[in-house]
Amino acid sequence: MKALLKATKALSDGNRLKMLKLLEARDLCVCELTAALGLAQSTVSKHLALLEDAGLVQGIKEGLYVNYRLVREGDSPYARPLLDLLAGWLNQERDIAALKASLLGIDRQVLCRRPA
């Protein structure tokens, strides 16, 4: 029961739902999610930590980046079925469609430049 409660609690926040809908489109780093959502980096990181703890997303270290993606398989028996349900929901919502469209203008190479 604890795993289900964690997952449903993670789904109970609008910004976390938006993050999950964005991650349906592609893997994203914190910089990209911050730009798309207009939230502070610390806020995005806290939301991602909660989503990861709930077993809904996973962070994969790739070079200089940690890319977040929806789980494909995991420890929680509830995460993948909940994500599968979510995939069919909210797609017609204007703000979700606009967020997904905004990804086209988000360039990680520009956003996440590291000082030399």
User: Is residue 96 within 8 Å of 21, Cβ to Cβ?
Assistant: yes
> Is pLDDT of 113 > 80?
no
Summary mean pLDDT of the chain: 92
Domain count, the chain: 1
- Residue 115, in any domain of the structure: no
User: Is residue 23 within 8 Å of 57, Cβ to Cβ?
Assistant: yes
> Is pLDDT of 79 > 60?
yes
- Residue 116, in any domain of the structure: no
Any idea what the CATH number is for the domain that residue 28 is in?
1.10.10.10
Rounded CA separation 30/78 (Å): 25
Torsion of CA 72, 74, 79, 80, to 10 degrees: 30
pTM: 0.92
